[in-house]
């Protein structure tokens, strides 16, 4: 049982849906980013997705692309992202952290070393968007053996023929991408998402969490009502990019979490 498994077990017992928040590590700088991350659980966040900045984030829209560039310009590295998780763990041993990003920085560090360091830093799961199931031996299976959940993405184009392959070796939860396209490019619609989530849940016991295109408490509630929870990234990252004060950012997150938890 990982912290992710424990969290869903607890939420299920409480009859609540999950709220997951994404932030880019090191955006706009290390200290501010760590302050935001440390404040997320108090704002109602159940699982933190911590973005690993990368120079070529092909699945991300302009908002998260710019966040990654700000972080890189500020000197954020993979090591500093792991350091951030370590610092977070000094005050919080229960909130799961999922490191989300691309394979290149992990490959450059070396898979074995990365997994050892990630586990030591208190990372609970990985989302690596450019590693398909056909490459499971590369990172997914070693991660599972190291005690980390490997969380896969499914999309509106993941048909019934492809779905079993996507679900194979996935653990923790399945991340359903509510729209076709990049992050922040359109709004999720619960009427479209609901049947897709039901289709996926018929094929797996894993929780299905929906992300992309959720930018308000009402939208978080609507999406969480047809899934096991909601993820918000771009809407939070946008406020960070605007230089809003940390308390204001966390107030916004709190509203989103309350929306998801109402579902």
Q: Which positions are annotated as active-site residues?
A: 49, 60
User: Which residues are bridge partners to 98 per DSSP?
Assistant: 49, 125
Query: Between vectors from CA 177 to CA 197 and to CA 254, what angle results, nearest 5°?
Result: 90
Residues in the chain: 263
- CA dist., res. 57 & res. 54, Å (int): 6
- CA dist., res. 7 & res. 66, Å (int): 31
User: How many other CB atoms are found less than 10 A from the CB of residue 103?
Assistant: 17
Helix (H) or strand (E) holding 248: helix 246-262
Contacts of 191 (CB under 8 A, 6+ apart): none
């Amino acid at each position: 049982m990982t912290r992710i498994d424990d969290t869903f077990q607890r939420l299920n017992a409480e009859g609540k849906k999950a709220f997951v928040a994404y932030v880019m590590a090191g955006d706009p700088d290390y200290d501010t980013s760590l302050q935001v991350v440390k404040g997320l659980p108090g704002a109602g966040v159940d699982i933190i997705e911590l973005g690993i900045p990368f120079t070529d984030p092909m699945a991300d829209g302009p908002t998260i692309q710019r966040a990654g560039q700000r972080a890189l310009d500020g000197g954020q590295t993979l090591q500093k992202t792991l350091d951030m998780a370590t610092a977070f763990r000094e005050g919080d041993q229960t909130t799961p952290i999922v490191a989300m990003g691309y394979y290149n920085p992990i490959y450059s560090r070396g898979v074995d070393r990365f997994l050892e360091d990630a586990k030591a830093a208190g990372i609970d799961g990985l989302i690596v968007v450019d590693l398909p199931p056909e490459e499971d031996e590369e990172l997914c299976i070693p991660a599972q053996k190291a005690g980390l959940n490997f969380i896969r993405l499914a999309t509106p184009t993941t048909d019934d023929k492809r779905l079993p392959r996507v679900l194979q070796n996935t653990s923790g939860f399945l991340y359903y991408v509510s729209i076709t396209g990049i992050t922040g490019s359109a709004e999720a619609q619960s009427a479209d998402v609901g049947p897709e989530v039901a289709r996926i849940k018929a094929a797996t016991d894993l929780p299905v969490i929906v992300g992309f295109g959720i930018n308000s408490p009402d939208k978080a509630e609507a999406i969480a009502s047809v899934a096991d929870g909601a993820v918000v990234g771009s809407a939070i990252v946008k406020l960070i990019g605007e230089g809003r004060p940390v308390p204001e950012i966390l107030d916004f997150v709190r509203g989103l979490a309350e929306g998801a938890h109402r579902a």
